[in-house]
Structure 1
């Protein structure tokens, strides 16, 4: 390394890349390779084996002989706990994350490091846009965040509660001080742990900055953590945490359940119950427990309107007395009046 390059390397921020790994041997080489092909290299690369099967761990070990990354082994606990373990094992001042089935664009680290504002004493994170791709990395669209997020950067807790944040860890660089100040990811979540983390960093008064460039390719497929029962359970836990953290403040005219949480989560709880009835699967009872808890919170809240409560009660009654065959029939007969009951009756009207 030349004297000039050595000086530039020493003066720039140090960066660790943390990759959670769980039975992901089919994808991990693509992810790791993208990290080692960066225009600005990471100072540390840590892959956290989150309790994978022995043969998967063996494949990861073989890969580490070709790429100089460090492996941290732990019992299975989900992506959040794996990321926490990787951060704890590192020393760099800034943290980048990468999911095992995604991959960085070549200038990921360079762009994010250059977007860190000089002199920001309360720096939290810089987040950027992503490409959406299929499982093979074939691009579907190139402006995922811009098309979904309401406001960039984040400036209001009300927007963070009402809408999905679309701050994706794989397209973000986080200051260690901010990460440590909030205790990292909440390990109870296996889904929504990113919204929870970045919301808590925001509430602690750390800054966030949006880079209007794609830096990562987000590969979406049915085996991703974005799908399945773990995500549904995590969504419910996240809703409960938000409801407990943000009680209504009538004197300030802030009605969190009615105005922010119901519009965001209510439709999903109803849809989960509908899907469980349709499939008549082992999760039907659990989905109705979630729905019943949500219904109880709504009907006992004094600031939710009578009409919205009545609609929700009727929805719950209809679902409780519907067979799998009935729900499937309604789903295919879109002009049948009851379909509007299932799909529209739960809409919130305060």
Structure 2
């Protein structure tokens, strides 16, 4: 066998602590035909990472590049490879000396290009053994293209325990830099459709577990949910039988049920419910009375996805009523009742008669007081309907009853023996426990931060006679920055929280805001969790100023002043510390925060240059702006427009360092299948300047023309939208959502497109950030900061404000449907805008 050159690529960012060990393990390979390439992905650790590499001299090649994430670093390493085989080694992981040799011997002599994968030992931060992941166990080396799909879906792959032909990597498109933490599994999934995967038993890679790894962060869980949702969609055969569809979904479920990817699990549950709709179920209710118990049992079965064909109730009560109709809300299941006093007197005979009453392919027997939850019933229905088992029995400890699912064929076989038939049937039900039992695995751990929120305590009045105590008292060794905002929530609240998290490792952060020009509230925890308050309308600002001096406040950033406007300048003057003003809207420079008219529409750029226009403030810029050390705009467009209203005062544009890098995140668009409606997400509260009337007008046009388009209004309540449009199905009001739960909603709803119908210049738009972070294609009005923030993004289409009319929007929906969302992107010019200050918050803000 030719001993081909293997290139070991080590991406690293600020990894000097472990990098030396990783390099040593790579250089110690018994397969001597190797090269080691370290890609420094913009480390800013004062040169510590590069000094580690330099210590190995010519044995290691160093590639330095600006920070772009693991995917971009790996691609840079692949581009620089001299070898024909690629091996990935994380800077904090280790190779066994036989790692490359064993994998090379397994795949290099194969008749077709193949990908190897192996087992992994997990080690602690100090190198101690934790657990072994036996990824290869039970995986058949059959050399078949497509076998790797199983390895992907079963979570068997670790990128640092694989060996991949370079040509295969390049043909599959390499790693996607737009997937910061799932770029590996997305690539393995593409490779699995092209090449056989070969198991190499033995743990030849050691993976170090320590805090701060990307795959352990909450954002990774969202990103992984989107990827698994996409893979699940692709696993459903468009032309397959209902049973084949169920089998494939259950294959994915085997992994997802134990994963923390809550959004993907929610999506899969919806898909399983839909797939089960192809299998009618006859239901036998035993040991319960008609009414509440029976209705609840049927509701659970329907929630599990069961398509109820018929219901038989075995009633042991004294009533002689011959029939009963069970009518839970929006459902109606006529039920036949077999009573103890009727012509069928034996309990066994009545049960046999009930089971034989229908002809549906599935039977569900639910016993009183022990009806399983919907999720457990879904497991049983899917297992039997998919043909994995002829029967299923729930494991429940409540009462003496049970819930069982049986196929009609299994019942027929059980009753084919000698009489008594009822005895054989009862024995068959008893044997269900031997055929399949409900899963007793522990539920997947919750997402970080998914626990119910605790209401913040009410702020206590500041007491002049006692020292001020906060939950997080400022560290006197660090500067203390006060962020001032308003109490209205929304984008300003999120901006303050995000900024505080970004700078909190370098300075003490305090949040302050006014309420109705009367109270001032302060927090060391969060910008919406007040800890102490001052009644400044009654007592003045002297006590507040003294408290802020006592806390060591030495700089201020005014993000907003609504609720505190008449006090802001006296407070800053009394504090006597440098302060910045960050413009998040037009409140400080115009008569209103959004530059809109009475209908919520933009007054127009011409109005900004008209001195007497009602939207402009009279006189010179307010003292707050003139006295500020810096005026910072949250976007280039805001800097451009606000600068025209500030009569020559300089203003700089800087982007907030948002987690997840929304603009660079890859698009995760679900396919628009033949016959499907175009599902369009309208995100957030639809105020007048956010396009409320446009959404209603577009919905009316869709309904009038009978178009296959559905508007999903996430953030709007039913009471605010026209009832006739909701009843038609064109418009769905989905209510509010928690910020951390958006990924769950996107995975559940699977919108094909997000539509942002802005009417006024958006100065930043967290709704846009959220749509990009969820990987959605976007149709938006190109006004305000929107064009600059999406410039160059694929699957994005901007309408100039003058074109953003209901009839034009509907025409775009039709075009995107006809093109299956493959329409070339449409951006708008931004060359007229001032430049952005690069990395401002990271390097210059403090």
TM-score, scaled to structure 1: 0.70
Does 2:82 correspond to 1:91? yes
2 CA distance for matches of 1:198 and 1:291? 25
Note the alpha carbon deviations across 1:168-220, whole angstroms, 9 max, x for none: 1111111111111101112222223222212211112x121111122111111
Q: How do 1:21-100 and structure 2 match up within 5 A?
A: 21-55=12-46, 58-67=47-56, 68-100=59-91
Name the structure 1 match of 2:224: 235
Query: Per the alignment, in what secondary structure is the counterpart of residue 744 of structure 2?
Result: helix
Distance change in 2, residues 1:192/1:26 (3 Å) = same
Name the structure 2 match of 1:172: 162
1 CA distance for matches of 2:209 and 2:140? 23
Post-superposition shift, 1:156? 4.2
Does 2:442 correspond to 1:268? no
Query: Per the alignment, in what secondary structure is the counterpart of residue 50 of structure 2?
Result: helix
1 CA distance for matches of 2:261 and 2:234? 20
Query: Per the alignment, in what secondary structure is the counterpart of residue 205 of structure 2?
Result: strand
Name the structure 2 match of 1:116: 107
Name the structure 2 match of 1:290: 743
Distance change in 2, residues 1:239/1:142 (3 Å) = closer
Greater mean alpha carbon deviation, residues 45-54 or residues 174-183: 45-54
**Residue ranges of structure 2 left out of the alignment (5+ in a row):** 264-444, 455-496, 499-658, 660-736, 752-846
Greater Cα radius of gyration, structure 1 or 2: 2
Work out whether residues 153 and 255 of structure 2, in 8 Å CA contact, stay in contact via their aligned partners in 1. yes
Q: How do 1:205-284 and structure 2 match up within 5 A?
A: 206-243=195-232, 245-246=234-235, 249-253=238-242, 254-255=244-245, 258-260=249-251, 264-265=255-256, 268-269=261-262, 275-278=449-452
Post-superposition shift, 1:258? 4.8
1 CA distance for matches of 2:227 and 2:214? 15
Query: Per the alignment, in what secondary structure is the counterpart of residue 145 of structure 1?
Result: coil
Work out whether residues 123 and 208 of structure 1, in 8 Å CA contact, stay in contact via their aligned partners in 2. no
Structure that is richer in helix per residue: 1
Post-superposition shift, 1:286? 4.0
Distance change in 2, residues 1:263/1:109 (3 Å) = closer
Q: 1:194 aligns with which of 178, 184, 188?
A: 184
Note the alpha carbon deviations across 1:83-141, whole angstroms, 9 max, x for none: 11100111211111101110111111121112125242x31311111111111111123
Note the alpha carbon deviations across 1:144-185, whole angstroms, 9 max, x for none: 4246xx635585476356432x21111111111111110111
Name the structure 1 match of 2:466: none
Query: Per the alignment, in what secondary structure is the counterpart of residue 118 of structure 2?
Result: strand
**Residue ranges of structure 1 left out of the alignment (5+ in a row):** 1-7, 299-350
Does 2:175 correspond to 1:185? yes
Query: Per the alignment, in what secondary structure is the counterpart of residue 216 of structure 2?
Result: coil
Query: Per the alignment, in what secondary structure is the counterpart of residue 226 of structure 1?
Result: helix
Work out whether residues 15 and 92 of structure 1, in 8 Å CA contact, stay in contact via their aligned partners in 2. yes
Greater mean alpha carbon deviation, residues 131-140 or residues 231-240: 231-240
Distance change in 2, residues 1:200/1:158 (3 Å) = closer
Work out whether residues 273 and 287 of structure 1, in 8 Å CA contact, stay in contact via their aligned partners in 2. no
Work out whether residues 127 and 210 of structure 1, in 8 Å CA contact, stay in contact via their aligned partners in 2. yes
1 CA distance for matches of 2:41 and 2:192? 28
Work out whether residues 132 and 144 of structure 1, in 8 Å CA contact, stay in contact via their aligned partners in 2. no
Work out whether residues 161 and 261 of structure 1, in 8 Å CA contact, stay in contact via their aligned partners in 2. no
Distance change in 2, residues 1:22/1:186 (3 Å) = same
Name the structure 1 match of 2:277: none
Q: How do 1:142-157 and structure 2 match up within 5 A?
A: 142-146=132-136, 151-153=139-141, 156=147
RMSD: 3.1
Work out whether residues 17 and 42 of structure 1, in 8 Å CA contact, stay in contact via their aligned partners in 2. no
Distance change in 2, residues 1:131/1:264 (3 Å) = closer
Query: Per the alignment, in what secondary structure is the counterpart of residue 115 of structure 1?
Result: helix
Query: Per the alignment, in what secondary structure is the counterpart of residue 129 of structure 1?
Result: strand
Distance change in 2, residues 1:65/1:222 (3 Å) = closer
Name the structure 1 match of 2:115: 125
1 CA distance for matches of 2:51 and 2:233? 46
Work out whether residues 135 and 221 of structure 1, in 8 Å CA contact, stay in contact via their aligned partners in 2. yes
Greater relative contact order (CA < 8 Å, ≥ 6 in sequence): 1
Post-superposition shift, 1:31? 0.4
1 CA distance for matches of 2:179 and 2:75? 13
Post-superposition shift, 1:245? 4.0
Post-superposition shift, 1:235? 0.7
Note the alpha carbon deviations across 1:263-311, whole angstroms, 9 max, x for none: 654763266568334467989944311111223249xxxxxxxxxxxxx
